[in-house]
A and B are shown apart, each in its own frame.
Chain A
Amino acid sequence: MPAPGFLVFYLSLWVCCTLVHYILLGGYADLGTGFLALDAFITQTSLFLLLLPLWFLVRFRKKGKDYSLAGIVNALVGGGLLLGIWYVVMRESLVGLLYTETGAGELFRNTLGLRIAFGFLAGLAVYHFFLASRLHREAREANERQVELEGLVLQTELQALKNQLNPHFIYNSLNAISSLTLTDPEKAREMVVKLSDFLRYALKQDALEMTTLEKEMNAIELYLEIEKVRFGEQLNHRFRLEEQDKNLELPGLILQPLFENAVKHGVQQLPGQPGPAFRVIGNEKETILEVSNHFDPALGRFKGEGVGLENIRNRLRLHYGNGQLLQLEKLGNVYFARLHIPKPAN
């Protein structure tokens, strides 16, 4: 079914043509206004009614072959047929009924050429108008299918990005626990439990899963407690969250690589330095989660990018449509990693 706007357009076109016909005929022949009006009305109305079936020609045409030989022949034949009918209608109604005096019959014959030409042009225009309308509709449908397809691809990509926890963290921690079994078995037992609690969170199957900031920070605290065993007591691992931030939704395990980098470039390189710091900054359009650490600028290599950060960017792109939500900054000897979590639209 054609859209309502379409019908409005068609009707206005019919009205315009009728008026134009009336005016032109008035200028050409000397007839009473009644006759002029009726002539215009009958001609144009019958034309526009007869052109409507062109819609079916368009609707059921072979897609993509609009300007092929077959398509053109089709259109011409169909159009021709309709024009033929129109001619008959015109002749019977105008000559037979309206212009019963001989003079008007002549008028009809004289203006016939113009009428047919006009009818042909109108047919052409209407046909293309129908075609454009139909093409627009088809394009929109194709677009919707495309969007749906992209949605599916996104889902698959997300699945592939799950479980990007750095395995070396696990091996190094197990080594540390192994060592503790010889020197401090009680602590070893504690660490085994902490590691398994952390892994339970980190290895969740569903990468699409969103978690709350509170849950994420609990996991981060576990993670840092494990790192403390490897690197020393100064790792601060208690973070206080404001009430309103606790339920902030974010993709699970998205902060962990930032903390891992902070430990690697901070505490691990500078024993004695405080561990990574964390804070939450909120504004109207987003919540910024900031992880920062001291580093030693004298150490030439500072890998700003790594697989972990790449992964975060990909996940942000897939969840929020924007890969630039991770911002990194160096100020003096402090490194800042900021995640900009957009606030939901409502």
Chain B
Amino acid sequence: MEINVLIVDDEAPARTLIREFLKGHPSIANVQECADGFEGVKTMQEIKPDLVFLDIQMPKINGLEMLEILEPDLLPSVIFVTAHDEYALKAFEVNAVDYLLKPVARERFDMALEKALSRIREGTGNQREVKGLVSMEGPGPRWLDRMVVRAAGDIHIIAQEDVLCMEAQDDYVLICTEKDEFLKKKTLKFYEQKLDPSVFIRIHRSFLVRADAIQRIEPYSKDTFIAILKNDRKISVSKQGYAGLRKRFDF
């Protein structure tokens, strides 16, 4: 059995090292390289490699974010290769084959490769779908500061500052910025917990809104209200939501 391998790392010498280590292994058919996350996602969709050596800290989008936006059935076996040891727990959560620390030791590399090959042979190779975690807990900001979404084949990075509101739509969340809307397969509850509550407030079962994007609040029916945002978008406010707003803005 021969497998196709993809190496994703922004540092050329790091990619070369993995490539060199792969030389001489009989089960390796093809080795390709990508220098950043966007390229990586594109290539993974195109060539559907069996095994990916993935760096985590990369420009634009990082290794974990990449996995998050891939279709679940496209997820290959992953071996993380990184200088940071703090993501080991996360790697375990996503069922990665292994986690190699830089500088990479040949013996550890060989062991990881063997593990990957046997998992692929047995058919248990694929990554578990990356659900509900990619917010880089551990070192770094406490609250989510950006989201990565796929739309019509393009990858978009949305900064937390640009999000005006979010609307729950079944299994998805509609993320609204001033000019655009994006669907992401997450729950509203997830974002309620991961976004800074001093910035975002849940004003309705289906709506999470950026507090300072609210221009004014008007009564709608007996107990409910409508919040009008800066871009004139209207959002329903439930009774509890209104109470929350009153508390927040002190009126």
A-side residues, CB < 8 A to B, are 168, 171-172, 174-180, 182-183, 229-232, 268-271, 298-301, 303, 307
B179 smallest CB distance to A (angstroms): 14
- Chain B residues lying within 8 Å of A268, measured Cβ to Cβ, are 10, 59
Contact at A300–B158, with CB atoms within 8 Å?
A: yes
Additional A-B contact list (11), CB under 8 Å, known A182-B17, A182-B20, A268-B59: A168-B84, A172-B83, A174-B102, A175-B17, A175-B83, A176-B13, A179-B20, A182-B16, A183-B13, A230-B11, A299-B59
Contact at A300–B162, with CB atoms within 8 Å?
A: yes
With A171-B83, A271-B35, A300-B158 as given contacts, are A178 and B59 in contact (CB-CB < 8 Å)?
no
B197 smallest CB distance to A (angstroms): 20
Contact at B104–A175, with CB atoms within 8 Å?
A: yes
Q: How many A-B residue contacts, CB cutoff 8 Å?
A: 73
Which of B10, B139, B158, B161 has its CB near the most chain A CB atoms (within 10 A)?
A: B10
B100 smallest CB distance to A (angstroms): 10
Contact at A301–B159, with CB atoms within 8 Å?
A: yes
B200 smallest CB distance to A (angstroms): 16
Contact at A232–B12, with CB atoms within 8 Å?
A: yes
Bound Cα distance from A299 to B146, whole angstroms: 9
What 0/1 pattern do residues 39 to 68 of B give for CB contact below 8 A with A?
A: 000000000000000000101100000000
B153 touches A (CB below 8 Å): no
Bound Cα distance from A175 to B35, whole angstroms: 16
Bound Cα distance from A183 to B20, whole angstroms: 9
Closest to A271 in B: B35
Contact at B60–A175, with CB atoms within 8 Å?
A: no
What 0/1 pattern do residues 126 to 165 of B give for CB contact below 8 A with A?
A: 0000000000000111000110000000000111111000
A199 smallest CB distance to B (angstroms): 15
Closest to B105 in A: A178
8 Å CB contact of A229 from B10, B13, B141: B13
Contact at A301–B145, with CB atoms within 8 Å?
A: yes
- Chain B residues lying within 8 Å of A232, measured Cβ to Cβ, are 12
Contact at B13–A171, with CB atoms within 8 Å?
A: no
The 10 tightest CB contacts between A and B, nearest first, are: A300-B159, A179-B17, A171-B83, A269-B59, A175-B102, A179-B13, A176-B13, A300-B146, A175-B103, A174-B103
Bound Cα distance from A234 to B141, whole angstroms: 31
- Chain B residues lying within 8 Å of A301, measured Cβ to Cβ, are 145-146, 157, 159
- Chain A residues lying within 8 Å of B83, measured Cβ to Cβ, are 168, 171-172, 175
Contact at A299–B141, with CB atoms within 8 Å?
A: no
B20 smallest CB distance to A (angstroms): 5
8 Å CB contact of A176 from B11, B84, B140, B161: B11
B78 smallest CB distance to A (angstroms): 19
B28 touches A (CB below 8 Å): no
- Chain B residues lying within 8 Å of A175, measured Cβ to Cβ, are 11, 13-14, 17, 83, 102-104
Bound Cα distance from A269 to B61, whole angstroms: 10
With A168-B84, A268-B59, A299-B157 as given contacts, are A178 and B104 in contact (CB-CB < 8 Å)?
yes
B91 touches A (CB below 8 Å): no
- Chain B residues lying within 8 Å of A229, measured Cβ to Cβ, are 13
Closest to A232 in B: B12
Contact at B60–A269, with CB atoms within 8 Å?
A: yes
- Chain B residues lying within 8 Å of A307, measured Cβ to Cβ, are 139
Closest to B61 in A: A299
- Chain A residues lying within 8 Å of B160, measured Cβ to Cβ, are 300
Bound Cα distance from A172 to B17, whole angstroms: 12
Closest to B102 in A: A175
B101 touches A (CB below 8 Å): yes
